[in-house]
Amino acid sequence: MKGFSRRKGEATPTPPAHSPALFPLISCSGCDEGGHVTFGCLASGFFPLPAQLTWGGVASSQAKNFPEVRTGSGSYGLSSRVTMGVAEAEGGNFRCQVQHRGSNYGLDIPGEGRGHTGTSAPPRISPSPYARPSPSVTVLPPSLQDLYLSEHPNLTCVASNLKSPDPKFTWSRSSGAAVGVATSGPARRLPNGQWEVSSVLGICAEDWNSGDVFTCRVGVAELGDTPLVGSAQKENGERPFWVFVFPPPPEELAASETATLTCLASGFFPRDVLVTWTQQDAPVHPGRFSILGPAPDAGSSGRFSVYSKMAVPADEWRRGDVFTCVVGHDGIEMRFVQRSLDKMAARPANVNVSVVLADSDTVCY
């Protein structure tokens, strides 16, 4: 596919990955007999999207989840609020659970059963002073963008909730093959007073595609001779896999100077997918299109869909420019599928394309 091969210096570096830090959100209202308590959970500082927050011990009707928001540091935050009656909350144990990049994080928020008669203070939800999250390690796999559009794909080992900022990282492969040089990022002080430190291991696409298990061991003083251990391995993609593109509706072209093109990829597993666009065989800047998802397919067994739309000047559509949605996924035999459409065709051209996007897929130095 012309114009879509990676050129040196074109790829935008992916921000460093971070696991979420969890914090309780506490308030109390209606503190009289028959009142309610409100508490919540904040997952902060994670990257990349998405993260999923659920509750243990809480009915779905009592919880309200808020959309992910981007913070000033480039990471994301996610929060949820629970409201329930004082009597129900008293003595209860509730758990905030967050899933991010295949790893699970949790924070217990116990209810303090103080009994609540006469003028006694009502129960309130608060974290135990000893319930700080335990040290943990997560290995974040390379994204498809890193593998096929970047010159430097990598694995990231994130050690969180450490008492000291100087852990020792050790990497290995299940095949026994040598690993490259890893670099440690700067330690980040978490809002709970503990530390998060990451180690980044540069790899080649062929390393990851080999199916090896990459293991990161983290030695920390507070755990003595027992290291924290995390691992990651490529998930095998599954077919069938569908990609559809749709031209702008005639009503839009008649009423505005914008033409909206849409692309839908459906039925894929695993979740990681790459979606981008070209115009006249030239890559389109990511700022010109939006991506919604991936999200689980309704009624499917673990498959996902992703939707992308791009608004272009109507004049560019009318003059016959060719627009192409490019979808990359490990479940596609040739890595990528493109669907093209223009004014003359008014329907997609179904073409499977083998695209060499990263030299590191075949050559590793």
The full set of domain ranges for the chain reads 1-131, 136-232, 242-361
- Note whether 1-131 and 242-361 share their fold: yes
CA dist 339 and 235 (Å) reads 25
SS3 318: helix
Give the architecture-level CATH label for domain 136-232. Answer: Sandwich (2.60)
Give the percent of the chain with pLDDT over 70: 76
What is the mean predicted confidence (pLDDT) over 341-361? 52
Which pLDDT score, from 0 to 100, does residue 12 have? 43
CA dist 160 and 190 (Å) reads 9
pLDDT tens string 168-199 = 999 999 988 888 888 888 888 877 778 888 99
pLDDT tens string 67-84 = 888 775 667 888 999 888
Lay out the sheet containing 93-100: strands in order across.
51-56, 93-100, 103-110
CA dist 89 and 92 (Å) reads 5
Average pLDDT over the chain, rounded to whole? Answer: 77
Give the percent of the chain with pLDDT over 90: 12
Give the architecture-level CATH label for domain 1-131. Answer: Sandwich (2.60)
Selected residue with higher pLDDT from 129 and 301: 301
Beta bridge partners of 336: 328, 353
**Contact, 123 vs 116, CB < 8 A?**
yes
- Give first-to-last CA distance, the chain, whole Å: 26
What is the band of 30 on the pLDDT scale with cuts at 50, 70, 90?
Answer: very low
Residues comprising the chain, all counted: 365
pLDDT tens string 118-136 = 333 333 333 333 345 678 8
Least confident of 19-33, 113-127, 218-232, 290-304: 113-127
CA dist 293 and 311 (Å) reads 18
Number of neighbours of residue 349 by Cβ within 10 angstroms? 13
Which pLDDT score, from 0 to 100, does residue 309 have? 92
**Alpha carbon of residue 183 to chain centroid:** 22
Which pLDDT score, from 0 to 100, does residue 5 have? 44
What is the band of 3 on the pLDDT scale with cuts at 50, 70, 90?
Answer: very low
Look-up of token digits 């992916």 = 14
Q: Is pLDDT above 50 for 6?
A: no
pLDDT tens string 91-104 = 778 889 998 876 77
Which pLDDT score, from 0 to 100, does residue 61 have? 85
What are the Cα distances from residue 244, in Å, to 116, 241, 306, 307, 337?
Answer: 60, 10, 11, 10, 10
pTM of the full predicted structure? 0.53
Amino acid at 156: T
Q: Is pLDDT above 50 for 360?
A: no
For domain 242-361, give the fold: Immunoglobulin-like (2.60.40)
Q: Is pLDDT above 80 for 4?
A: no
Cβ-count burial of 246 within 10 angstroms (0-12 exposed, 13-18 middle, 19+ buried)? middle
**Contact, 192 vs 132, CB < 8 A?**
yes
Q: Is pLDDT above 80 for 255?
A: yes
CA dist 189 and 207 (Å) reads 32
**Contact, 136 vs 160, CB < 8 A?**
yes
